[in-house]
Amino acid sequence: QVVVVGSCMTDLVSLTTRLPKAGETVLGHKFFIGFGGKGANQCVQSARLGANTSLICKVGKDSFGNDYVENLKKNGISTGQNVIVIVPGANLLLNFEDLKRASDVICKAKVLVCQLEITPAVSLEALKMARASGVKTLFNPAPALADLDPQFYIYSDIFCCNETEAEILTGIPVGNLEDAEKVGRMLLERGCKLVIVTLGAEGCMMISVEEPIPKHVPAGKVRAVDTTGAGDSFVGALAFYLAYYPKLSMEEMIRKSNCIASVSVQASGTQSSYPYRKDLPQDLF
Ligand code: ADP
């Protein structure tokens, strides 16, 4: 139901009291390996809410790649046949051929999700394939590109970015709700049907062709300990609601996705902080 075309990254994290200067060695007090990458993160959050998910990605034929595939399986994500290559930057090797091989999965999805941690032309092609089959497209332009191909706006049913990405795309720094309204309007004019700008603790600003007056959807007040990956938790949750609760209003989907992302900021790490359906208030479902 939810298909993500995107990246897998292995995070090697060490915690130190300060960053080393050039040439210096400092002692870290903690080291851990985490599973990240925007594509996989969004897919994992969707799966943990109960979505049937597939991730179309490329991983290296090394221990990181193997461990990553295990991680996806543990999260109940369908990886299908793996196309494996021996390079660290495997994400950038995902190509049109791979998409063609996965076209059945893409075209039968309810929602297709893409970001920019793979070759942008491949993301765009995936959006086009989905659109041609009537699959809803959710695009997260992250990490942002100042010279984003304008076709991305046209092929995104929902264009969801954070404040930094909005600034890179429009040149307008987003410091308050008024700025968010302004960038929302600008992005909508570029041809998407609906724009969501996520605003951290402030929740989101939404604007659509149907409702061209920007609407602020606030997030609940929580004690944030680590906001890494909050945006991916939000996008993954939104994909889940789009696929499984298509009758909800967009505002309601965003409100619920805010709730889920705000749970993720209360624990440390990226995927490790993403909540499971069984641990969430049942009125979210
Ligand atoms: P990113 O992780 O891409 O920078 P944001 O910081 O905009 O994205 O956060 C995405 C979503 O996560 C927000 O729209 C909100 O729902 C939730 N969120 C992030 N930070 C907080 C916070 N401090 N309190 C409550 N919710 C938060």
Question: What structural domains does the chain harbor?
Answer: 2-14+31-276 (3.40.1190.20)
Residue 104: CB partners within 8 Å, gap ≥ 6? Answer: none
Tens digit of pLDDT for each residue in 150-198?
999 999 999 999 999 999 999 999 999 999 999 999 999 999 899 999 9
Closest ligand 1 atom to 164 CA: 4
CB atoms within 10 A of CB 3: 29
Question: Chain-wide mean pLDDT for the chain?
Answer: 93
Tokens of 91: 């994400």
Q: pLDDT at position 79, please?
A: 77
* 264 touches ligand 1 (CB under 6 Å): no
Place of tokens 């394939």: 129
What is the pLDDT at residue 21?
A: 87
For the segment 117-142, the average pLDDT, to the nearest whole number, is 97
ipTM confidence:
0.99
Question: Which member of 104, 232, 279, 283 is catalytic?
Answer: 232
Higher-confidence residue of 266 and 86: namely 266
**Phi, psi (5° rounding) for residue 56?**
-100, 110
pLDDT at residue 1 is higher than 90: yes
Residue 62 has what pLDDT? 87
Q: Is 279 noted as a catalytic residue in this protein?
A: no
Residues tagged in the binding site annotation for ATP: 162, 198-203, 231-232, 258
Nearest-CA residue for ligand 1 atom 6 is 200
pLDDT value at position 81? 55
* pLDDT exceeds cutoff 90 at 20: no
Q: Which pTM was predicted? A: 0.94
Between the CA of 227 and the centroid of ligand 1 the distance, in Å, is 7
Per-residue pLDDT reduced to its tens digit, 61-113: 888 999 999 999 999 998 765 444 444 488 999 999 999 999 999 999 999 99
